[in-house]
């Protein structure tokens, strides 16, 4: 025990009692975990297990993010919701249970989509860990981890298989380094708002977009009226662009309300490896190499044969997200200044406007594209401090801008 921090002033007597068995581990340092902050994205089958592990092991600050509410079918895998009411936000119910499990740490819950989450939470995290079930959510997260240079420990399960993969930005591959094979629901996300549908599935996606535009919320396929709206609008496009057969209600429900099969045993295997990699990374980046080197390969687990496979994923330096040619800028504006100043500022910095197109600013989002109004202010465009913007219309290609919002009256910009 000589090399551990068992008698560190940083720890209370209660913590010394609680973490007694961990102190006996070779190379262990409880203070590093206590002073760490982890952002956990997705509190479902994997997320519940991971959050439980990180809480019990004593990570000092955990932020939990999930947009969903508890459903009855969650209760045979997601132990943090036992005793909680169905329809309660998962992120908040999880916090209540985790505080009971370990009252010595700080845990905060956010019922939010990734797109609406204040970006400062990504910035403050030492490590980000995800238990997401969609590729588009992973792609949105990918943009943030590359921008803030944070390790992302991702995991996924499907039936009796699972994977673990940690992105170390600019060291190994990010989710955009190679084109991703996509399922039908991911194909929907790849279809942009503009342009004509290229596949049958895009017709349904466009019907969903139309619904969201009118109602400002996604359609609920369990509502007969909303389902009919989707069917009518999708089939109008199917007929117009010749993608028959027409959609039936059952197919629409299967596509939109899609759920992968899942079992707690496979979740627990994958979640445990993810959790332990987080512990290793926290130690490693804070100078303690005693727990081993964090894994950089893509690990696949086959529950049928109980075998693990490792694949190398080298970074692609031409990647549209983490590649060497991607342009990143920082920009400072006050809340009452219009976004046009960003375009003007980029011109002043030597970027050249493309004479063929008008410059536009969008929020990068793989679910839907939101175009901002250049003549309106930061406040009117509902932007957060550290909002990420994509600026199109310069000859060098798209430019990613991190927006800093400050209070005094001077306008400045720097890279």
Q: Return d(Cα 377, Cα 392) in angstroms, integer.
A: 18
Compare residues 61 and 313 and give the one whose CB is closer to Zn ion: 313
Which is closer to Zn ion, CB of 235 or CB of 321? 321
Output 126 or 176, the one with its CB closest to Zn ion.
176
Tokens for 205, please give them: 């996606």
Q: Residue 223 Cβ, how far from Zn ion at the closest point, in Å? A: 39
Q: Which is nearer to Zn ion, 63 or 176 (CB)?
A: 176
Distance CA 301, CA 161 (A): 6
Q: How far is the CB of 325 from Zn ion (least distance, A)?
A: 12
Strand partners, 153: 129, 166
- Looking at the Cβ atoms of 84 and 174, the one nearer to Zn ion is 174
Beta bridge partners of residue 332, listed in sequence order? 404
* Residue placing its CB nearer to Zn ion in the complex, 55 or 321: 321
Helix or strand or coil: residue 116?
A: coil
From the centroid of its chain, how far is CA 177?
A: 17
Q: Report whether 260 contacts 159 (CB < 8 A).
A: yes
CB 94 within 8 A of CB 51: yes
In whole angstroms, the minimum distance from the beta carbon of 170 to Zn ion comes to 8
Task: Give me the residue whose beta carbon is nearest to Zn ion.
Answer: 319
Whole-number minimum distance, CB 400 to Zn ion, in Å? Answer: 13
Find all residues with CB under 8 Å of 224, minimum gap 6, and list them.
none
Compute the distance between CA of residue 160 and CA of residue 168 in angstroms, rounded to an integer: 27
- We find the least distance from the C-beta atom of residue 150 to Zn ion, in angstroms, to be 14
Which candidate, 164, 154, 234, places its Cα nearest to that of 199? 234
Give me the least distance between CB of 316 and Zn ion, in Å please. Answer: 6
Which C-beta is closer to Zn ion: that of 109 or that of 364? 364
CA 106-109-112 angle, to 5 degrees, is 150
Positions that interact with Zn ion (CB under 5 A): 174, 176-177, 319, 321-322
Strand 152-158 relative to strand 161-167: parallel, antiparallel, unpaired? antiparallel
Q: Which is nearer to Zn ion, 94 or 146 (CB)?
A: 146
Smallest separation (angstroms) from Zn ion to the CB of 17:
45
CA separation for the pair 312, 295 (Å, rounded)? 10
Instruction: Report, in Å, the least distance between residue 356 CB and Zn ion.
Output: 28
For Zn ion, give the closer residue by CB, 8 or 182.
182
Q: Tokens 């982890």 correspond to what residue?
A: 38
- Strand duo 387-392 + 360-363: pairing: antiparallel
Task: Indicate the residue among 181 and 216 with the shorter CB distance to Zn ion.
Answer: 181
Label residue 404 exposed, middle or buried (CB < 10 Å: 0-12, 13-18, 19+): middle
* Closest approach of Zn ion to the CB of residue 173, in Å: 6
Strands 37-41 and 106-110: unpaired
Residue 195 zone, left/alpha/beta (φ > 0; ψ -120 to 50; rest): left
DSSP secondary structure, 132-198, as one string:
---HHHHHHHHHHHHHHT--EEEEEEETTEEEEEEE-TTTB--TTSSPPP--HHHHHHHS-SSS--S
> Is 372:343 a contact under the CB 8 Å cutoff?
no
Q: Is 94 or 177 the residue whose CB approaches Zn ion more closely?
A: 177
Compute the least distance from the CB of residue 3 to Zn ion, in Å.
38
For residue 139, the minimal CB distance to Zn ion (Å) is: 11
């Amino acid at each position: 025990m000589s090399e551990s921090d068992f008698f560190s002033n940083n720890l209370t007597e209660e913590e010394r009692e609680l973490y007694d068995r961990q102190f006996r581990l070779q190379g262990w340092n409880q203070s590093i975990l206590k002073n760490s902050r982890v952002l956990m994205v997705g509190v479902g089958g994997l997320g519940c297990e991971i959050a439980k592990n990180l809480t019990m092991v004593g990570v000092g600050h955990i932020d939990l993010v999930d947009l969903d509410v508890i459903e009855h079918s969650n209760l045979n895998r997601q132990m943090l919701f036992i005793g909680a009411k169905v329809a309660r936000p998962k992120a908040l119910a999880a916090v209540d249970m985790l505080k009971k499990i370990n009252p010595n740490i700080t845990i905060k819950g956010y019922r939010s989509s990734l797109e609406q989450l204040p970006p400062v939470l990504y910035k403050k995290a030492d490590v980000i860990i995800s238990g997401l079930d969609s590729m588009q959510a992973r792609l949105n997260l990918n943009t943030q981890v590359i921008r803030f240079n944070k390790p992302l420990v991702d995991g996924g399960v499907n039936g009796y298989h699972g994977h673990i993969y940690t992105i170390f930005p600019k060291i190994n591959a990010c989710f955009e380094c190679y084109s991703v094979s996509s399922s039908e629901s991911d194909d929907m996300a790849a279809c942009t708002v503009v342009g004509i549908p290229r596949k049958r599935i895009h017709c349904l996606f466009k019907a969903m977009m139309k619904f969201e535009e009118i109602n400002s919320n996604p359609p609920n396929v369990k509502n007969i009226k909303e389902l009919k709206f989707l069917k009518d609008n999708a089939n109008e496009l199917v007929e117009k662009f010749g993608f028959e057969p027409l959609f039936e209600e059952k197919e629409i429900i299967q596509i939109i309300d899609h759920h992968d099969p899942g079992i707690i045993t496979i979740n627990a295997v994958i979640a445990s490896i993810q959790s332990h990699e987080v512990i290793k990374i926290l130690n490693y980046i804070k100078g303690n190499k005693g727990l081993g080197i964090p894994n950089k390969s893509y690990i696949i687990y086959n529950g049928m044969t109980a075998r693990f496979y490792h694949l190398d994923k080298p970074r692609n330096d031409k990647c549209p997200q983490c590649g060497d040619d991607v342009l990143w800028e920082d920009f400072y504006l006050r809340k009452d200044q219009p976004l046009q100043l960003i375009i003007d500022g980029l011109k002043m910095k030597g970027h050249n406007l493309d004479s063929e197109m008008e410059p536009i600013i969008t929020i990068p989002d793989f679910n839907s594209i939101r175009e901002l109004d250049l003549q309106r202010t930061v406040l009117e465009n509902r932007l957060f401090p550290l909002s990420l913007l994509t600026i199109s219309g310069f000859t060098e290609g798209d430019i990613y801008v991190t927006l800093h919002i400050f209070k005094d009256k001077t306008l400045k910009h720097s890279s």
